[in-house]
Chain A
Amino acid sequence: MTPENAVSVHDVVVDYRTPRGPVRALDHTSLDIAGGSSVAIMGPSGCGKSTLLGLLAGLAVPTAGTVTIGDQVVSGLSERARVRFRRQALGVVYQADNLLPHLTIEENVALAAAICRRSSTVDALDVGVLLARLGLEGLATRFPDQLSGGQRQRAAVARAVVHRPRLILADEPTGALDPANARGVIELLIDLHHDVGATLVIVTHDPAIAAYATTRVDLARPATKMEASHVG
């Protein structure tokens, strides 16, 4: 376990305001994830998986409770500090690749490293080497729309890890891929998270994908305090 990568969600409540009144997305949820491990969060639609991921990413703040990454209470940070946190400590892979369409693959990856470098002394991975490892060496100067879905998602993985983040969040990273491509992408993600020493949190519906993680959490469980449970 690496303490600076440990993730702790403590008694978190998230309420959304809607025209029909407040809706509770997370209700006193707690979660502890050991640093450097990989966790698959599962659960039915609407159980709060994405909300939880948003809290971990510092893109949202809980109505109550705390979210801690290492020794940083992310939920208590200012907007500026959360931006800095995302820049330095976070890598995200979504179901959609979300690559910038006017940037080449290598530029998309290099941009994440360049953004991180603005406030960090951490040495980013070499973009060329990383892309080669992901099997994209010949496609570095292509634009996203010139790649297949699987290739684009691999590029998205590269972008998520290039700046050696402490925490990698993957929200249905293989949801739009065929099984073969999905397998390839998740294996790369697992490999790379080990390489950079990051904690990996995967949100997925797919038990096969969840099986790649060392720990699995079912968010639908009624318990208010959950421990990351080892599977397999």
Chain B
Amino acid sequence: MSARYVVADLVRNPRRTFATALGVALGVGLFCGVLFFVDGLSASMTQRAVAPLPIDMQRIVTERVGGVVALNQRLSTRGRLATGDRVRVDLEVVNSGTTAANEVTVRSEPGPGLRFVSGSTRLRGEPIAGYTDNPLAHGLGRIGLNVGTVESGERVRLTYFAEATRSGPITGTAITSTSSSRETVSPVPANRPELTGLAELARLVRRVPGVSDANQLALGDLGPDVLSARGVTAPGPTKVVAFDDAYARRDGSISMTKGRLSPSGVVLSVEAARALGIDVGAQVSVRLPDATTHAYEVTGLADLSRARSLFSSRRGGDLETFVYSRNSVVVSPAEFDRTVLPAYERTATTRGARLKTPPVREIDIRLDRNLLASDPATAAEQARNTGRRVTAVAAHQDYLLNNISNTLDVAAGDAAVAKRLFIFLGVPGGVLAAMLAAYAGAVLAEAQRREQATLRIRGASRRHLLRMLALRTTILTGLGALVGLALGYIVAGSILGQATLGRASGSSLVTSALLGSLGGFAATGLALYLTGRRSIDREINEDRAALTRRVPLWRRVQLDLVALIVVMAGTVLALRARAFDGAPGSVYFGRSVELNLLLLVLPVAVWIAGALLAARLAGAGLRRTQPQSSGSMGRPLPRLYRLSIGRRPWAIGNGAVIVALIVALSTCLAAFTASYDAAKTTDARYANGADIRITPSPTSARAYPATDAAQFQTTGIRRVTPVIYGLSNVILRSARTSDPANLAAVDPRTYATVAPVTDAQFSTGSPGAAFARLERDPSAVFLSEDMADFLRAKPGDPLEITLVRSTAEQVEIRMRVAGLYRRLSGFPDGADALMSVAVHTAAVSTKTPDFFLAATTGSGDGALRAAVAGLGRGPGAADRLQIDTRLTTLARDQSSLAALNIAGLVDLDSWFALAMVVVTIGIFVFGLLLSRRREYVTLRAQGLEPRAIRGLIAAESGTVAVIGVTAGLLVGAAMGFYFVTVLRPLFVLHPPYSLPLSGLATPTALVVGATLLATLVGSQLVNRLEPTELLRDD
């Protein structure tokens, strides 16, 4: 019976049912939408994180140069030992290489249950004197014994005794022994199996499950002036590289411009070929480190200027640096092993010879990325497992750089931060949904007060009423949850794209669906039920009396003041603890973005405190507008309005709180998106140097002097500035010391108008003054703070600079330090010194700019694309140009968190928030009608025109809208500021806080529109009420 009554009630009151179910659907939809969105994004994180990675794994071979030294170990006895039994340890160092091994160190010590027998050690049969402890593990550091040089083919024998300290079995691993040498620094364990060659190692690694390809690569620095042909020497250092066709095919950044790789010939970089003035088919001489010279036929030319796999630094802590060598020689791996490697070995083992940088030999491994799980944490574990299997293949002769695992670890950390961040972004929506449901519930309960009274009169007990309420709540929230679930999926899919959402695993989607729908069902259902229950528990008379005076619960418990205290205390504590200064993420440092997510409580507290405080102030203000009771009403409409809002301020206040919360959330999200987008663009622009970077291709024969910058000023480009820059392109010499350095020479008149330059970048004076100084003072050079510190140079000090070092044009000029700077944009590898390009050109006339920076006329992405298209039609059509933009830089950004589609989630939140604001206004207006319809009909019966009643409804709902929107915009601006401040570590540069007008206009316009529409519809409904019947009822 109750069920039938409830269902009939819901069907007969479609507006109430619809409004409440819609509120629930929006809340659940937002919950589910956010969770689906997180699923979809997490699923794309793995692929996005690994996309820019040039090499997934590197097995770096550590041995070989300087000979192969092996340590053989044998024990005199096996089986069980009784306490006090002795065992003899025989160690033999064998050099099976072709060259001597220097400073060979043997380290050996007994394990648990054994102790070294003092004085028992013999080297080459002779006792070793001068040690009171084990000479093979001496002192606190357990230092091994240096047995000196071991010549090729020589064997060195060592023996000592160990004594059992307890009875037990003895195994081959009871004694731990290793050997190392000057040439092989990493200790090699005794009895290690035979070394596996690079080609064989690559073949074996290729078989490991999860590995899609493995190719050998060898790299070596040959030093300056080693490459010559027809009597011409290519100036500057040369790099020798060894890879095969398979490697070249796999690595898209290696571009063969002419000819091919061959087993006996060499391929030259296009810059080297140009410097030598030769082409394919010519002969070239290469001087190797041991001073031997080898002649090769040039079988091909290659553009290697973007080959990150070849030129990324292999030095630990410096892996981000792109160490490009213009002069490069590519030989076959076989030729490297046959000729180049022995030359290094000979140099390494020759007394007096200095091998500054040993060659690097490695297997570059690419995983089958399609097999990686979509979740970065799972993918990282998969990559680690694959890494372990790769390491197990022919172990102990190398080490593994698991780049992909490190990248995925960072991505997993970022994904975890992102999930929490996203859930935080969804939380206000969830809170709103519950509040909206409670608000709808309150309005519904008020409307049902009369029905409940009737039911009580007819004999319904409190239990009956509660059961009916529970049933009504279940039906409404169940219906809303189902619709919300579908809505969330559709909205998330439409924002992310169905393909992205489809990549998420079924289990994660099902979990999200259950979590979102059940969570939303519980939150909104509870809000509806509790509000209704409170209404049932009130006596009818008390209810009526309390209508005008009841203070809402939040006000009674002073929730606004509590939230305000949380904001103030939290801000002070965070500032004192410098908690807002997180650390940006770095893949190369293996560090995820450090976000103190506890701080996200602050914007939420600002949000709640602000909206409630606004309602408290509005309530106090409205109460003051009520006139004293009088027997004269004057103009009835304004008086009625003032009496209504002045004596029922909480009806306005509660509606305004919900509107303010929604508008604040929408404003905050708009501010965050604008700031986030601006910061991403600023970061990318800073890294790129400007909107566009134009680099003449090394394959181009055309020279672009600095004075030619204007030729790049095509459609959509505002200004172009030339830049001379290179890694270690100069030597800086102060009075105290000197060092190779990266010098940037820029045009002081145009650089600051093209590249992003801020006051914070210069530590002495302003950027304007610095560039003015560079323009007027030809001897002025600016130094980075780090370089000035290293050189111990300060402003005013003289500085000798060797320009275009290691080239035929190398020249020394005398400059004076004019000032210091912290950093310059456009030089990710760092710029140590800054001078005028005109001064540089005057000193070295042949040196043309390495690249040009260009600023577009418009600031949007469309303007940028148009400018790039213009360049392609203009100078790009006549010559090959490498064009990098802030967008391509952003796409290369490996920090998966900064590249996240936060804007998408914000869109999702915003749409739901805007829908909720419409529903809130609708509920307010229709709630007014439900609770005040008798008032309106009484006024009609007294002769008040319909338009006057419409005016009254409009005035009250307008008051809610005005207070809600005003408070919402102010609170949203403050909330957005906190939000941006908390999320600052997502960016390299501090993001500027921007509040877009469009972001403010949308919710405002929507609230105004919804108010007008609801008022019109509402007043029409009032006019359709049947006064005769309504006024008769009691």
Contact = CB atoms under 8 A, between A and B. Distances in A.
Interface in B618-665: 629-636, 639-640, 643-644, 647-648
Interface in B520-550: 541, 544-545, 547-548
Contacts of B384: none
A94 to B, nearest CB: 5
Nearest to B647: A102
Contacts of A98: 934, 938, 941, 1031
Given A95-B1032, A96-B1034, A106-B629, 19 more contacts: A50-B1028, A50-B1029, A54-B1027, A57-B1028, A59-B1027, A60-B1028, A83-B940, A92-B1031, A100-B935, A102-B548, A102-B644, A111-B639, A115-B939, A115-B943, A116-B943, A118-B636, A126-B631, A171-B1031, A172-B1032
Interface string A91-130: 0101110101111101101111111101000000011100
A80 interface: yes
A53 interface: yes
Contacts of A224: none
Interface string B1020-1033: 00000001110111
B630 A110 contact: yes
Interface in A53-92: 53-54, 57, 59-60, 79-80, 83-88, 90, 92
Nearest to B941: A92
A100 B633 CA distance: 14
A189 interface: no
A115 B643 contact: no
Contacts, number: 113
Interface stretch (A31-39, A138-146, A214-222): A138-146
A206 B934 CA distance: 26
A145 B545 contact: yes
A161 to B, nearest CB: 13
Contacts of A83: 940, 943-946
A114 B639 contact: yes
B472 to A, nearest CB: 24
Given A102-B648, A115-B636, A115-B944, A140 B629 contact: yes
A118 B631 CA distance: 16
B548 A143 contact: yes
Given A86-B942, A102-B648, A115-B943, A96 B1031 contact: yes
9 pairs of A and B residues whose beta carbons are closest in the complex: A87-B943, A127-B631, A114-B633, A54-B1028, A96-B1034, A86-B943, A114-B636, A104-B629, A141-B629
A140 B629 CA distance: 8
A51 interface: yes
A98 B1029 CA distance: 13
A132 B541 CA distance: 27
Given A96-B1034, A141-B629, A102 B942 contact: no
A47 interface: no
Contacts of B941: 57, 59, 86, 92, 98
A228 interface: no
Nearest to B1031: A94
Contacts of B1031: 92, 94, 96, 98, 171
B1032 A106 contact: no
A87 B643 contact: no
B635 A114 contact: yes
Nearest to A141: B629
B1029 A113 contact: no
Contacts of B544: 101, 145
Given A83-B943, A96-B1031, A96-B1034, A110 B632 contact: yes
Nearest to B549: A143
B1028 A115 contact: no
Interface residues of B, number: 37
B1028 A102 contact: no
A176 interface: yes
A95 B647 CA distance: 26
Contacts of A140: 629, 631
Interface residues of A, number: 50
28 contacts: A50-B1029, A51-B1028, A54-B1027, A57-B1028, A59-B940, A59-B1027, A83-B945, A86-B942, A92-B1031, A94-B1031, A98-B934, A98-B1031, A100-B935, A101-B544, A101-B547, A102-B548, A102-B644, A104-B629, A107-B631, A110-B630, A114-B633, A114-B634, A115-B943, A118-B636, A145-B545, A145-B547, A146-B545, A176-B1034
B333 to A, nearest CB: 91
Contacts of A171: 1031-1032
Nearest to B938: A98
Contacts of A104: 629
Identify whether the interface residues of B are mostly helix, strand, loop, or mixed. Answer: helix
A140 to B, nearest CB: 7
Contacts of B545: 145-146
Contacts of A79: 946
A87 B945 CA distance: 9
B631 A102 contact: no
A60 B544 CA distance: 30
Determine which residue in A110, A128, A131, A146 has the highest number of CB atoms from chain B within 10 A of its CB, and name it: A110
A65 to B, nearest CB: 17
Most buried by B among A85, A102, A171: A102
B938 A80 contact: no
Given A103-B643, A106-B631, A128-B631, A111 B636 contact: yes
B543 to A, nearest CB: 10
Contacts of A101: 544, 547-548, 935
A147 B629 CA distance: 16
Nearest to B635: A114
Interface string B825-866: 000000000000000000000000000000000000000000
Contacts of B648: 102
Interface string A158-179: 0100000000000110001000
Nearest to B648: A102
A83 B940 CA distance: 8
Most buried by A among B545, B636, B643: B636
Contacts of B644: 102
A151 to B, nearest CB: 15
Nearest to A172: B1032
Contacts of B1029: 50
- Max chain A Cβ within 10 angstroms of own Cβ: one of B630, B643, B644, B1032: B1032
A172 B943 CA distance: 21
B929 to A, nearest CB: 15
Contacts of B632: 110, 114, 127
B547 to A, nearest CB: 6
Contacts of A51: 1028
Contacts of A112: 942
Contacts of B647: 102
Contacts of B942: 86-87, 92, 111-112, 115, 159
B430 to A, nearest CB: 35
Nearest to B631: A127
Contacts of A102: 547-548, 643-644, 647-648
Nearest to A156: B938
Given A80-B945, A100-B938, A59 B1028 contact: yes
A57 B943 CA distance: 10
Contacts of B633: 107, 110-111, 113-114
